[in-house]
Chain A
Amino acid sequence: MQNNLKEYRDAAELTQEQLADKVGVSRQSIISIEKGQYIPTTVLALKLAKALKLKVEDLFVLEKGD
């Protein structure tokens, strides 16, 4: 699964720390999600989308093999 978290976070002018605080997770979680090392649960994906005022499908996009 591809994610556009970094692009949208940059566009929202938020640091990883600020976004992490907004959704109540650690900065390490945001780093791992941005690197594609960790796929968040639906709850966290919804929280991230809400924090960035986006839809979940804007942030996370299914790839061909998924």
Chain B
Amino acid sequence: MNRKPFLLPNYFKWIGPAILVLTVATIIIANVAFDFNFVKIIWLKLIVKILIALSFMLFILAKEKVEDEFIMQCRLRAMAGIFILNFFCSIFSELTKTYCPTFFTPIFGSLFGVGVFQAMMYITTFYSLKKGYAQ
């Protein structure tokens, strides 16, 4: 019998994005309505980053409605793609930090930025494979 990887129940597909939406909404409302900037307070900024990362991970690790071998293969291929992308991200990160510190550094200059970018790329790749847009 095949070993199945650890995955969260399907309802986390909703909990993850809900956390992301609530976090972003809170930042926007606090900024617009109360003129409160999260970025200025280090521990709040950290919490926001953790919540954003957590929301992506919950979405990625949640099971599909029907978790079969095809889905597992899509998952595996998307993971493999992101593993390769990680090498290019690392090189790009070093290059931007050195030669173009103001433009790409907010995204590729930090592990958090790279992590979120990779999570988004994973989600895009996985659903492209699942829906048959990519082979």
Contacts and interface: CB of A to CB of B under 8 A. Distances in A.
Contacts of A38: 70, 73
A25 B66 contact: yes
A57 B66 CA distance: 27
A26 B135 contact: no
A20 B70 CA distance: 12
B132 interface: yes
Contacts of A18: none
A28 to B, nearest CB: 6
Category for how many chain B residues contact A: 10 to 19
Interface in A16-54: 20, 24-26, 28-29, 31-33, 35, 37-38, 40-41, 43-44
Nearest to A30: B70
B69 A29 contact: yes
Interface of B: 64-66, 68-71, 73, 130-132, 135
Interface of A: 20, 24-26, 28-29, 31-33, 35, 37-38, 40-41, 43-44
